[in-house]
Amino acid sequence: MNGSSRRQLARGAACAGLAACLSGGLGGCLERTIRVTSEPPGAMVWLNDVEIGRTPAEARFKFYGTYDVRLEMAGFEPVHEGREAAAPFYEYPGPDLVAAAVPARFHNRIEWHYVLEPAQGLDSPEAEAAILERARGLRERLGAAPEAAPTEPDPTDERPAQEPRPESPPDIPPMEPN
């Protein structure tokens, strides 16, 4: 190999390296977050049964669609509902390729706000009586047997006590060959 061939090879490698560095630095960045706030703040938040923290809480996500959102806070009614995370236009097939190539940062932040309602006093005797009355009404509508009073075991019963069941699972017969 002569000197000019080496220089051409070195120049070509340098150009390829420079092009790789420049193209890597020109790519855009897509970031997606869901932010959940509540009034009052401090409610525990779960997205798809994954705890993300107390409001105001923020989490990154990968996929658009329906999310299962749950908020709980002592003294307030729990919230449990499905919320839609809709994709912006630059995340649709086609424009997403352009958005990924543009040297800019795209941040899609979805914000959901909840106003928590104070908990109804279920501790009061009136609330307990109302729940029991609704249960009796439902039992009557379904045609169930009337409510029986709880009974104490009869101490004069001479029957032997049942032996506890073994802890091992039952035997399952083998499958029939096809």
CA 36 to chain centre: 13
**Distance (Å, rounded) from C-alpha 70 to C-alpha 45?**
6
Instruction: For 71-94, write each residue's pLDDT tens digit.
Output: 999 989 999 999 999 998 888 888
Closest CA to 30 of 6, 80, 64: 64
Q: What percent of the chain has pLDDT over 70?
A: 62
Instruction: For 14-67, write each residue's pLDDT tens digit.
Output: 545 444 444 444 456 888 999 999 999 999 999 999 999 999 999 999 889 999
**Distance (Å, rounded) from C-alpha 138 to C-alpha 136?**
5
Tokens describing residue 39: 């009034």
Q: Could you give the count of Cα atoms lying within 13 Å of 33 in the half-sphere of its Cβ?
A: 11
26-115: CATH topology is Immunoglobulin-like (2.60.40)
